[in-house]
């Protein structure tokens, strides 16, 4: 018998045509085998409940960390150089490359090791917390890590769920529980979950332990809001009762039980298979434009390095080809050296020169850049001006890798609802049967608390009209998913329905709360849902009860929701509420034209509109609907698709009742922010799912569109009259003709003497544009569409699905100009575009925190975007640009004299500088001043940047890291290196410079060059510093003092750990010479002179906007910058 059951199960599981069972799992509740004759018992192995968020173990930390660090090109390059120094006879000690590399690797390893140790501690605390299991009818307490799939778990109030559970029963009579998911998605509101219908009566450990059931569900996947499964409950009958399972039955690990004494649940996903663990996966890495420029410059310098090594190698053998030059009398070669291959000797010399010049590639630059980004990000989080008192939160930095990208944004893509608007809905009016009804006491959109009557704008209705009107209000009272918040007690009394407090209702949609509160003014009040009955108070203060039969939930594709209810008289109604575009095509009766006219008028005013319809169902029709819904709900594969098809069949032949209008106010200073962004040269696009009229009204209100803006439309309505080809070419001619006759201001498009264009496109039209042509052309209409967009000052994309928002961002992102894009939104539907854009910003809003969790930065309000870009982004870019260029400059100054020195030492690979100087130049002598500069510099005051957004244009398109700037810094480094070397060379050639008549030796010469160089590059940074604090003074002058003190100690003390000390007394002897002091002062002055002259001439003849502001503030006696912590 068991063999037959097993065969039957396997045939059913693997040969069923409807569903692919490979992607599902079977969980045996309480590890109890199904009854004999039922499904065969097939044990499966699942991971335990151990959470591992750490990256390393004690055994693999060293090899794994080293492997990851040496995947970076710069680290790997220096490792190769270090190995070459160890293998062959090179002019410099392996310490000169090995010590900086060891320092960088060690610091990074310690940082990553410490972070991982903290993760280990957190994992252990989580894995060892106690959990209550039901075992043999009693409670057993064990550690969380020992929990297995199939275990029945007891969770008490305020405890966190230890794994992903199917909700079996609750201490609440109605089989519900409330949870908060703040640790998962940041939403602090209570969410209601429902126990399985057939198990919600099991309240004791003995009852729950007697449960015979199996659960079939999908394999683990990371979507927090999606779950598909079914439960087979075995009673006395042979056939099990099959119930569908959805996300409303799933309790996620990390969520917390609230307002419920206890619940029982069965573990279905444990450990690293829980949805919380699957969401640990990091987002794809974004790289800034500065980082890309830095890598390009590194390649250029690597080519320079190879060229210098090749030139020196060739010249060495050319020089040695002269008789007696190869073997001078004092350095004869051995027989083995004479017989070595010429190629091998040349290759060895080439490697030796590579080692000698390798310091032109600055390994410490990577560490400095990482520290600058990490420490600099705190200036955003500490900014008190960006702290929101209402939310009690400030900005968040989820990644510091893109700080400087905030200063390079060219396109901003913003959501509308909750981002530009407050997502704080106010009920304005409703239109019933063509009659407009509005609360009579409305002041600036606020209904007064003592208002209960209504103003009927049109004539009073007849008897049938009054019946439809009451049906409309009942539909709004019933067609929603609102929960009435309990008053402290679990099942205690409700708040007074007449209190009018918003806190009485809880819903994931602010629209629903606004509608249910709004219709209280018309005498209908929703009370509660109890025992599957919805209660409402009508105009006569009588309580009406409707049995809730089905909920056809809302989704962004259907754009509507429905409920099926049964009245006390036994009548069955389907009430449907949704967007006009999804309701009107399904209506067969009602005053469609009047209601459509009112909806369009309200949309033009910027109000959010919904239409309400209904139909009566006979019992036979309802039974058919139940069968269709049950079949779709128990499907494990394509459940959403099958449910959508059933919903389409059900929601037809509706009778239109009316429409509602809700106002969503603009956020504070949203218009000012958009205006400032446009003046800064940033193009702003609005991407929304709202209808065109509503979105366009919002765009006018926030000054995205202006009165003189000529709107161009690429919408479904227009495409019904003309082909897409004709529409796009007509618009292209219009905008290109204007741009040809007038030179358009590419930045703002706000000129008064020219035509200003705004483009409106909807989702359907965008789909046609993105669709390839029939002839297979890859370019299709995208380039034409982009040409039109480039000549429009603003673009509105309405009726957009979430993926279409990402498509728009991607289209601009990969256009031929490759502009830097920023996407900002507050809801889960904005996550796709936030992840797609170069910089993603989430608004901490009322639609949950999915956007904030998936973004690179999060801000409380849209208005904070202005300071984020125009101030913080501007400063970040200026600082890191100087850091990168300065690092390359000071390394050219450092290594080019070494290259020149080879011409005077027979290309013998003799070093110009001492080993200690080679090692410490980038680590100690010159690193701290530039790090502090990159954190503190303010070339213009913050208030100036906010007041004059046009200054943002001076740094647009990576202006400070273009080839012109890079070549200038490189040439400046070459000039300074020539001055250092030949200035010292000619000044002391064949002269006695010490008091006893001694001539300087090569180490003294090298030390003089090095001293001039350290002072020059440090003072060059001092000249570039506009904003001085005591910290700047301390670090800059302290670095120079440290160099002098170190040199005195290094050459003035006999160090026992050194086998020889070639620098002994060299620095002291150098400073005891008057000509040496003169040389230092003179050479430093000559080196700095060209840069000073260039700055003066450029400021006088070709000043930039920033330089003009600096000059005006200097003339006025105002400081250039403000204290960096002033607004914090």
Q: Which two tokens stand for residue 131?
A: 């959990």
Question: Which of these, 61, 60, 265, lies nearest to 175 by C-alpha position?
Answer: 265
- Identify the active-site residue in 151, 164, 209, 415: 415
For residue 504, the 8-state DSSP code is G
Q: Cα Rg for the chain, rounded, in angstroms?
A: 37
Give every CB contact of residue 263 below 8 A, 6+ residues apart in sequence: 154, 155, 167, 168, 169, 170, 171, 177, 195, 251, 257
**CA-to-CA distance for 325 and 677, rounded, in angstroms?**
68
Q: At what angle do helices 1030-1052 and 1002-1024 cross, to 10 degrees?
A: 170
Question: Which of these, 944, 878, 882, 869, lies nearest to 1121 by C-alpha position?
Answer: 944
Asked if 769 and 724 touch (Cβ cutoff 8 Å), the reply is: yes
Asked if 849 and 187 touch (Cβ cutoff 8 Å), the reply is: yes
Asked if 712 and 731 touch (Cβ cutoff 8 Å), the reply is: yes
Asked if 1122 and 942 touch (Cβ cutoff 8 Å), the reply is: yes
End-to-end CA distance of the chain: 76
Q: At what angle do helices 874-901 and 289-320 cross, to 10 degrees?
A: 0
Identify the H or E element spanning 611: strand 608-617
**CA-to-CA distance for 415 and 688, rounded, in angstroms?**
6
**CA-to-CA distance for 1127 and 1124, rounded, in angstroms?**
8
Q: Which two tokens stand for residue 838?
A: 């170069």
**CA-to-CA distance for 489 and 494, rounded, in angstroms?**
10
Asked if 377 and 397 touch (Cβ cutoff 8 Å), the reply is: yes
Q: Taking CA 456 as the corner, what is the angle to CA 454 and CA 457, rounded to the nearest 5 degrees? A: 130
**CA-to-CA distance for 371 and 138, rounded, in angstroms?**
55
**DSSP string of 57-106, one letter each residue:** -TTTHHHHHHHHHTTSHHHHHHHHHHHHHHHS--SS-HHHHHHHHHHHHH
Identify the H or E element spanning 525: strand 525-530
Burial 279-297 (b: 16+ CB within 10 A, else e): beeeeeebebbbbebbeeb
Residue that has been written with the tokens 């498009």 in this structure: 749
Query: What three-state secondary structure class fits 951?
Result: helix
For residue 924, the 8-state DSSP code is I
Asked if 248 and 224 touch (Cβ cutoff 8 Å), the reply is: no
What is the sign of the dihedral through the CA atoms of 249, 252, 258 and 260?
Answer: positive
**DSSP string of 258-288, one letter each residue:** ES-SEEEEEEEE-GGGSHHHHTTSPPPPP--
Question: Which of these, 935, 920, 1124, 886, lies nearest to 1035 by C-alpha position?
Answer: 935
Asked if 870 and 680 touch (Cβ cutoff 8 Å), the reply is: yes
Where does 958-1001 have alpha helices with state H? 963-987
Asked if 868 and 841 touch (Cβ cutoff 8 Å), the reply is: yes
Question: Which of these, 282, 278, 217, 272, lies nearest to 250 by C-alpha position?
Answer: 217
Catalogue the E-assigned strands of 579-703: 587-589, 608-617, 654-666, 683-687
Residue 415 falls in the annotated catalytic set: yes
Residues labelled catalytic: 415
């Amino acid at each position: 018998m068991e063999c037959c059951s097993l065969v039957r199960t396997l045939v059913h599981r693997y040969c069923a045509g409807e569903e692919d069972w490979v992607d599902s799992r079977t969980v045996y509740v309480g590890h109890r085998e199904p009854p004999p004759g039922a499904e065969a018992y097939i044990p499966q192995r699942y991971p335990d409940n151990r959470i591992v968020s750490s990256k390393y173990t004690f055994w693999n930390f060293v090899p794994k960390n080293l492997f990851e660090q040496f995947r970076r090109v710069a680290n790997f390059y220096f490792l190769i150089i270090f190995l070459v120094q160890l293998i062959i006879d090179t002019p410099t000690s392996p310490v000169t490359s090995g010590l900086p590399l060891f320092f960088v690797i060690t610091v990074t390893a310690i940082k990553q090791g410490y972070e991982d140790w903290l993760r280990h501690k957190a994992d252990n605390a989580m894995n060892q917390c106690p959990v209550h299991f039901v075992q043999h009818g009693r409670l057993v307490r064990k550690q969380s890590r020992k929990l297995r799939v199939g275990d029945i778990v007891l969770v008490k109030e305020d405890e966190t769920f230890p794994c992903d559970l199917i909700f079996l029963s609750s201490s609440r009579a109605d089989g519900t529980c409330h949870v908060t998911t703040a640790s998962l998605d940041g939403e602090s509101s209570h969410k209601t979950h429902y126990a399985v219908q057939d198990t919600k009566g099991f309240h004791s450990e003995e009852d729950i332990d007697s449960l015979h059931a199996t659960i079939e569900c999908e394999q683990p996947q990371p979507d927090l809001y999606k779950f598909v499964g079914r439960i087979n409950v075995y009673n006395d009958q042979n056939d099990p009762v099959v119930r569908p399972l959805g996300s409303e039955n799933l309790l996620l690990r990390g969520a917390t039980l609230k307002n419920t004494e206890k619940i029982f649940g069965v573990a279905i996903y444990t450990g690293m298979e829980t949805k919380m663990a699957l969401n640990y996966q990091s987002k794809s890495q974004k790289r800034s434009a500065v980082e890309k420029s830095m890598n390009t410059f590194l390649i250029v310098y690597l080519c320079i390095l190879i060229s210098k090594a090749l030139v020196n190698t060739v010249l060495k053998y050319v020089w040695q080809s002269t008789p007696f030059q190869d073997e001078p009398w004092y350095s004869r070669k051995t027989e083995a050296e004479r017989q070595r291959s010429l190629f091998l000797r040349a290759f060895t010399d080439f490697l030796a020169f590579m080692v000698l010049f390798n310091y032109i590639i600055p390994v410490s630059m990577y560490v400095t850049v990482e520290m600058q980004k990490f420490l600099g990000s705190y200036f955003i989080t500490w900014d008190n001006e960006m702290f929101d008192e209402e939310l009690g939160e400030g900005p968040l930095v989820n990644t510091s890798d893109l700080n400087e990208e905030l200063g390079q944004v060219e396109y901003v893509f913003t959501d509308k609802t909750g981002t530009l608007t407050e997502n704080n809905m106010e009920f304005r009016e409703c239109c019933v049967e063509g009659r407009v009804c509005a609360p009579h006491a409305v002041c600036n959109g606020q209904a007064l608390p003592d208002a209960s009557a209504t103003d009927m704008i049109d004539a009073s209705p007849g008897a049938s009209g009054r019946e439809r009107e009451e049906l409309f209000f009942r539909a709004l009272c019933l067609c929603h998913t609102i929960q009435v918040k309990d008053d402290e007690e679990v099942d205690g009394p409700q708040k007074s329905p007449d209190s009018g407090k918003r806190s009485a209702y809880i819903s994931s949609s602010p629209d629903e709360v606004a509608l249910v509160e709004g219709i209280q003014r018309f005498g209908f009040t929703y009370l509660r849902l109890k025992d599957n009955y919805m209660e409402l108070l009508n105009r006569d203060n009588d309580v009406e009860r409707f049995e809730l039969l089905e909920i056809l939930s809302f989704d962004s594709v259907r754009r509507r929701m429905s409920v099926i209810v049964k009245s006390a008289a036994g009548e069955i109604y389907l009430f449907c509420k949704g967007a006009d575009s999804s309701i009107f095509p399904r209506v067969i009766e009602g005053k469609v034209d009047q209601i459509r006219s009112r909806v369009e008028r309200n949309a033009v005013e910027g109000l959010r509109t919904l239409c309400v319809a209904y139909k009566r169902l006979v019992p036979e029709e309802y039974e058919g609907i139940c069968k269709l819904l049950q079949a779709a709900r128990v499907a494990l594969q394509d459940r959403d698709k099958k449910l959508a098809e059933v919903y389409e069949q059900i929601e037809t032949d509706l009778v239109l009742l009316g429409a509602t209008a809700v106002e969503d106010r603009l956020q504070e200073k949203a218009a000012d922010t958009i205006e400032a962004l446009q003046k800064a040269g940033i193009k702003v696009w609005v991407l929304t799912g709202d209808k065109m009229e509503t979105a366009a009204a919002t765009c006018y209100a926030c000054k995205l569109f202006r009165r003189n803006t000529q709107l161009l439309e690429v919408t479904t309505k227009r495409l019904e009259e003309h082909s897409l080809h004709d529409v796009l070419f007509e618009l292209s001619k219009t905008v290109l003709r204007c741009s040809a006759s007038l030179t358009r201001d590419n930045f703002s498009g706000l000129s008064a003497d020219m035509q200003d264009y705004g483009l409106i496109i909807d989702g359907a039209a965008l789909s046609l544009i993105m669709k390839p042509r029939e002839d297979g052309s890859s370019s299709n209409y995208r380039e034409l569409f982009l040409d039109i967009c480039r000549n429009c000052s603003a673009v509105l994309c309405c009726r957009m699905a979430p993926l279409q928002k990402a498509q728009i961002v991607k289209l601009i992102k990969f256009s031929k100009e490759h502009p830097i894009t920023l996407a900002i939104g507050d809801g889960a539907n904005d996550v796709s575009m936030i992840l797609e854009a170069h910089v993603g910003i989430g608004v901490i809003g009322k639609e949950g925190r999915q956007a904030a969790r998936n973004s690179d930065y999060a801000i409380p309000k849209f208005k904070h975007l202005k300071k984020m870009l125009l101030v913080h982004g501007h400063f970040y870019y200026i600082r890191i640009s100087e850091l990168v260029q300065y690092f390359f400059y000071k390394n050219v100054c450092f290594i080019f004299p070494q290259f020149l020195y080879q011409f005077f030492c027979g290309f013998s690979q003799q070093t110009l500088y001492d080993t200690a100087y080679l090692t410490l130049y980038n680590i100690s002598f010159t690193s701290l001043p530039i790090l502090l500069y990159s954190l503190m510099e303010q070339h213009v005051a913050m208030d100036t940047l906010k007041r004059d957004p046009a200054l943002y244009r001076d740094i647009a398109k990576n202006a400070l890291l273009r080839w012109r700037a890079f070549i200038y810094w490189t040439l400046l480094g070459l000039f300074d290196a020539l001055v250092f070397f030949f200035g010292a060379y000619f000044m002391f050639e064949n002269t006695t410079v010490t008091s006893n008549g001694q001539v300087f030796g090569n180490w003294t010469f090298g030390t003089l060059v090095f001293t001039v160089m350290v002072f020059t590059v440090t003072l060059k940074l001092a000249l570039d510093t506009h904003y001085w604090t005591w910290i700047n003074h301390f670090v800059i002058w302290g670095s120079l003092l440290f160099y002098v003190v170190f040199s005195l100690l290094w050459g003035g003390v006999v160090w026992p750990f050194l086998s020889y000390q070639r620098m002994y007394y060299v620095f002291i002897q150098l400073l005891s010479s008057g000509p040496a002091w003169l040389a230092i002062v003179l050479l430093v002055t000559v080196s700095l002179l060209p840069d000073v002259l260039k700055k003066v001439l450029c400021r006088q003849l070709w000043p930039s906007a920033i330089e003009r502001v600096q000059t005006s503030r200097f003339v006025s006696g105002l400081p250039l910058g403000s204290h960096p912590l002033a607004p914090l």
